[in-house]
Amino acid sequence: MSQVSRVACHALDRAGSLSDIRKVALCVRHRLRNHWVADELKRLVMRKESLSAADIALAGLNTSASIAGARERLLSSLLSAERTRRRIPPSCGPGAKCSQCNRTATCDMGCMYAIRRGLTYV
């Protein structure tokens, strides 16, 4: 029976009738290989909407928790990268001089810019 289920899953996939979450749920239920759902997992983790109650009911708690954990790790790394991108270089700290005009803390993208914009600098 398990071979029939696997063939049926692949046939449904080829017909294009499986949503991302349904395909993941079938993969878990019938113990299919992970590469069969790799693209669907990426889309679920990267989509803007969180998993709905219907998605969670379909996939089950363990699978849904794994997807939610991956979404949290992705969001955390994106936020960390954004914070790093917005940091002003250490050379623009208090008392630093602008490399263009040699004035203290008045260069365009230096520490005064950071203070005015509420940005952080290291």
Question: pLDDT tens-digit profile of 64-84?
Answer: 999 999 999 988 888 777 766
Higher-pLDDT residue of 87, 39 = 39
What's the confidence (pLDDT) of residue 103? 63
Q: How many CA atoms lie within 13 A of 122 on its CB side?
A: 7
- CA–CA separation, 65 vs 60, rounded Å? 9
Do residues 28 and 63 make contact, with C-beta atoms less than 8 angstroms apart? yes
pLDDT at 93 over 60: no
Phi, psi for 97 (deg, rounded to 5): -110, 145
Distance CA 41, CA 67 (A): 8
User: Alpha carbon of 32 to those of 1, 11, 12, 26, 28: distances in Å?
Assistant: 14, 13, 14, 8, 7
pLDDT at 97: 61
At 67 the pLDDT is: 92
User: d(Cα 71, Cα 62) in Å, to the nearest integer?
Assistant: 14
Looking at the predicted structure, is the pLDDT value of residue 89 above 60? Answer: no
Predicted confidence at residue 5, as pLDDT, reads 74
The answer for 110, left when phi > 0, alpha when psi is -120 to 50, beta otherwise, is beta
Contact 75, 50 (CB under 8 A): no
- Give the mean pLDDT of the chain: 75
Per residue in 25-52, pLDDT (tens digit) is 988 888 888 888 888 889 999 998 999 9
